[in-house]
Amino acid sequence: MVLGGGFGGLSAAQALRHAPVRVPLIDRHNYHLFQPLLYQVATASLSPADVASPIRWVLRRQKNVEVLLADVRAIDPVRRVVVLDQGPAKVPSEGPADENTIAFDYLILATGATHSYFGHDDWATAAPGLKTLDDALKMRQRILLAFEAAERATGAGEQRRLLTFVIVGGGPTGVELAGALAEIARRSLRHDFRRIRPESARIVLLEGSPHLLGAFPEPLRRAA
């Protein structure tokens, strides 16, 4: 059994394509998300459909995989079952199961990652993360509405505040998001407003370490 339909979960399921096993794959969403391009959804460069593909379609030719849409609430390692949010979704098995559990012989956990506020969870309302499609759509709305609000603002100071975007984290996502924001401000939206100059938007990228793209080779860090 595989929990998660991201890169890890799909790779695990596909690696078992020729094995004489049944592979239930469970995910809370019915689509596989190409997470590295979420920043382009957040900046209105791509639509959600461009970065999300139905898991069933991706695995349509793999006969030993069964895709189930469910939220796993608990894992019982003694009984070797996972507990789902709602049923019925039973997969026939020799192990004990009821309508809200699925038995497994081997379990692969590939449930992905979430963003961290490093102990400051109260920041979540002011600073959304960028790990899910919902995150990207909310960020897109906030970015575009900031330009709209600046168009209506009467004071130069308020316009400057609304057109200042602060990104925390100088890893790949932060750097890509900063670049995409600059692109839409200087190109995509440049001629769409009458009272403001979108290209004057201020983009601030904050990074706690000495370098951007800290995990990358030195030439790429310098270029960034």
- Residue 53 near residue 31 (C-beta atoms within 8 A): yes
Quick count: other Cβ atoms within 10 Å of Cβ 89? Answer: 18
Catalytic: 158?
A: no
- Joined tokens for residue 76: 């019982």
Identify each DSSP E strand in 36-151 by its residue range.
Answer: 52-54, 65-69, 72-76, 81-84, 101-103, 108-109
What do you get for the CA distance between the two ends of the chain, in Å?
A: 41
What Å distances lie between residue 144 and 122, 138, 180, CA to CA?
Answer: 24, 10, 13
Strands 65-69 vs 23-27: parallel, antiparallel or unpaired: parallel
Among residues 94, 99, 158, 176, the one annotated as catalytic is 176
Provide the token pair at 154. Answer: 């009467």
Return the active site residues. Answer: 176
